[in-house]
Structure 1
Amino acid sequence: MSTLTALAQLRAIRDGAAQRITTVRHCHVAPRPLVFIPLRLAGEAAAPLAAMVGTDPGHPRLLVVPQPRNRDLRFSFAADLAEVFLPYIEGFGKTTETIEKKGGEPYERCLDAPQIVVPNLPAIAFIGLLGRSTRFRRADGPYPVHPSVPLLGRWLTYFADRSQQPGSCLLLAATEALGTHWATGQSSLENANLAALLGWIDPPAGMTGRQAAHEAEDPLLWPPAGPATDPGFDNEVLGPAIRAYEEAPTDRAVERITQALRTQLEPTWRLMWRAIDLLRALPEGTRVKDRWDTDRGSFTRFVERIAEGGPPQARRDGAVGAAARLAGLERARASYDVQRAYDDPLIMAEYRLTGEAFAGTVTAADPEHTEGEGRSRKLRPLITVQTDDPVRLAPGVTVGSPDRRGHAAEIVEITDGEVVLKITKGMGRGKTPAPGAVPEPGERVCYTALTDDFQSSAALPDPEQTPWTHGGPPEEYVPDDDDAQEEWS
């Protein structure tokens, strides 16, 4: 936990209300997200019990499995879920734009991409398991399923995998998104309760955040947001209803289970749309659009993979593939952290406290300063910044400014309260700096060693060159019926 977040938590406890810890929104919120609230059977890893899903707050669709241990009913549920998911997803793949790539071939990218919003991180884990248990199924052979089921499984796996990419918003957990922007007076474990978290952020009239969060602990008023259900509900309501269905699988028995599960899902459905509205009301960070463009590109490539008849995702990555994926996630995390700091002065303040950034006022500027002689002469303006921040950067370090894209400077000298900087990038191509390229005396500036420069991919061998210490060259992946054999599916 950072120093400023800890301070915000103390203020939340003092004031009885959540405190903003960002000035902008750092996640994309789609105009028409698909809200998905899954429930699973207690004691089972990937046995779906019910789900409430839809894009219209006033018209959710409730899907129920009256006996989750029945294989046919589980995959019938998956087929019904595909009726909602697939048209929503495929609608975004129908319109594209041509992107002109500098120095490369132009390519097509979808104009927009789907966004799935779930209550919490366990729901994302459940989506991954559900995708794994369905993407290898077949419409023929033993235990055939509806043709839409394996396609749904591939998409669920894709969204679950993509959610691990820092900054990606194709699959968004409401508790994580809210917790990124507000600090509450409770622990991070308690923040995993969506009702309690929203109680601190947006309490009902006449109540403090603490009071609203305390009320949210009552499962009769606010049932768990899934995928686990309340044990009391399981023992007293759900268990007897399922046993009644097993004894007499009638429409009346199904309706009894459906109504019981509706009472568990509808409160969370309302909370989800409250969370979306709260996030949407925040001003969007400048670089959120860039990350969403990356999401659109990833979505487009997967649409093309499916259209080309590619196989489902393998059960496990090979050694080289896993290493490349890990390296990509590390680069994405570093880039995401830098982008958030550049977009948000409150996040940048964390780095100012640690000495990785400083802010101050320009007290002197020499925009005509040059280095070298003759044809090697280069324009290198100098500025002096007076700051009260602790600067723990050494001379020679390259720094950037969140206020000027493409701007870079080198620290020349650090004295008591003053930093002399030499501007090396972002001045234009003329013999004199472009207007506004050099900060003027009296201007407030911020500089940081955090940079979002391009990072090349890790140098890894081809899969065929995988060393024996990592299993040797992998065999070519060919899907077969054995892929679908899971103890819990």
Structure 2
Amino acid sequence: MSPLSALTALARLRAVRDGVAQPVTTVRHCHLAPNPMVIVPLGLAGEAAAPLGAVVGTDPGHPRLLVVPQPRDRDLRFSFAAELAEVLLPYIEGFGKTTETVERRGGEPYERCLEAPQILVPNRPAAGFLGLLGRSTRFRRADGPHPVHPSVPLLGRWLTYFADRSQQPGSCLLLTATEALSLHWATGQSGLEDANLAALLGWIDPPPGTTGRRAAEEGEDPLLWPPAGPATDPGFDNEVLGPAIRAYEEAPTERAVERVAQALRTQLEPTWRLMWRAAEVLRALPEGARVRDRWETDRGSFTRFAERIAEGGPPQARRDGAVGAAARLAGLERARTGYDVQRAYDDPLVMAEYRLSGEAFAGTVTAADPEHTEGEGRSRRPRPLITVRTADPVRLAPGTTVGSPDRRGHAAEIVGASAGEITLKVVKGMGRGRSPAPGSVPEPGERVTYTSLTDEFQSSAALPDPEQTPWTHGGPPQEYVPGDEDAQEEWS
């Protein structure tokens, strides 16, 4: 559905009227780990991936501040990366120590980590910044020209992985606070203004005695709530940060470093508090039923990448080949479709959008014929009929197969519709017997929902092997081997 759907637009109007954000879901559609790693990065203005500083940690009361007193200094940049690796890598690697055996129908069992790491960042630009930082470090080497600490290229590979995974709809390994909050609440401001974490939380959770509008206005004041990064406030850059960096250049002493650190601390600590407040607000929502399934997929992905690193596989290539890019795009499209369907199945408020568009309907069963069958002899199959009365605008043609969020594995076919009544034939989810299993057919008086949306397995796109890439798409790609050119790639 469109981000600004009819119900979302109505919720925004009510937020303006009531002075507080309105919920647009009944459950939480993202996994929230009990022990996430919060990272709030800052970058130097005018540089694509020059780290200025960051605050990181898993304990709200004990953040760790990382500082680059001169972001244009190559050695200081890599020292920052090594410090970040010192915090992040033990956290990540700790989840690979305990696994479970997963049985597969028709396949060999495999091992999967019992849990996976979760990184929380303030916004989408922060996630992109971590991706750029990963690209800038994953090819570096511990020997040769410009050597770095051995942890730096490993950090780069993990940051690249998390940034890539964050583009997967429904994945929660790298979660952005503004997107997660906007998924569950509608505010009285524009979507662009919702990208401001302080303003967004002001609408959702205003302090006692004030309105969401007033709290959002305060959230837009950079003196009260500095930008959540990675960009910094221009006034801060000119009046505070610039002089502090110049003082370090003139005399690189511990006192000069502390001056830069104190300046960055004033910008990072407010966002650090906002991040944990956002986590508390999200955690208060009950988790959707299918969130666990998506997190299991995340755990499987994390396990496979950890195994790749343990086996000594090369870092991710700079760019995908034609077949790899097509497969990735097809996978993202399938994931988006599945994610949208799962959210609708989990949440009646999300399903309401599809009811408005005619892709779903809800109503009460007025009649049922559980003994109805089709075919003769051995081909005879149970095909119960039910009639549902609904006030929804149904735009589904006879013959359309529909599913029900209330009954996993249940499917029915629309037989006909007239005067607010829909006749359906149950075709799936009745058990393996010659007659429907008890409770598998909706009974008169039962409230039901049906939709043409389906979350059934979708096969992968039919693509050639990379070796069969046609010449129109560059021909078969050469085997990727990291070289000196990769190791010398610039930061920006």
Range into which the TM-score falls when normalised by the shorter chain:
over 0.9
Note if contact 2:40-2:56 (Cα within 8 Å) is conserved in structure 1.
Answer: yes
- In 2, the alpha carbon distance for the partners of 1:472 and 1:221 equals 55
Tell me the equivalent position of 1:207. 210
1:430 alignment counterpart: 433
- 1:106-148 per-position Cα deviation (integer Å, ceiling 9, x unaligned): 0000000000000000001101100000000000000000000
- Residue 33 of structure 2 corresponds to residue 14 of structure 1: no
Alignment counterpart, residue 467 of structure 1, candidates 463, 467, 470: 470
Instruction: Give the distance between the partners of 1:377 and 1:267, measured in 2 at CA.
Output: 68
SS at match of 1:92: helix
Distance 1:31 1:460 in 2: 40
User: What is the CA–CA distance in structure 1 between the aligned matches of 2:149 and 2:349, rounded to whole Å?
Assistant: 50
Cα distance in 2 for partners of 1:89, 1:214 equals 38
Matched, 1:412 2:415: yes
Q: TM-score, normalised by structure 2?
A: 0.99
Distance 1:453 1:18 in 2: 34
How many correspondences in the alignment? Answer: 489
1:181 maps to what in 2?
Answer: 184
Task: State which drifts further: 116-125 or 426-435.
Answer: 426-435
Mapping for residues 64-463 of structure 1, pairs under 5 Å: 64-463=67-466
Alignment correspondent of 2:31: 28
Q: How far off its partner does 1:324 sit? A: 0.3
Instruction: Output the amino acid matched with 1:211.
Output: R
Unmatched runs of 5 consecutive residues or more in structure 1: none
The whole-number CA distance in structure 2 between the counterparts of 1:435 and 1:259 is 68
Distance in 1 between residues matched to 2:61 and 2:419, nearest whole Å:
61
Deviation at 1:436, TM superposition (A): 1.1
SS in 1 for 2:257: helix
Structure 2 distance, partners of 1:33, 1:317, is 30
Letter in 1 for 2:200: L
Listed one character per residue, the Cα deviations across residues 368-408 of structure 1 (whole Å, up to 9, x for unaligned) are 10001111100000000000000000000000000000000
Distance in 2 between residues matched to 1:451 and 1:93, nearest whole Å: 34
Aligned AA for 1:307? A
| Native 8 Å contact 2:364 2:388 kept in 1 | yes
Q: Which amino acid aligns with 1:414?
A: A
Percent identity, aligned pairs only, is 85
| CA–CA distance in structure 2, aligned partners of residues 449 and 123 of structure 1 | 37
Q: CA deviation at 1:349?
A: 0.2
Q: CA deviation at 1:481?
A: 1.4
1:323 maps to a residue whose letter is: A
In 1, are the aligned partners of 2:140 and 2:488 still within 8 Å (CA)? no
CA distance in 2, matches of 1:36, 1:226: 10
Q: Amino acid of the residue matched to residue 229 of structure 1?
A: T
> TM-score, normalised on structure 1?
1.00
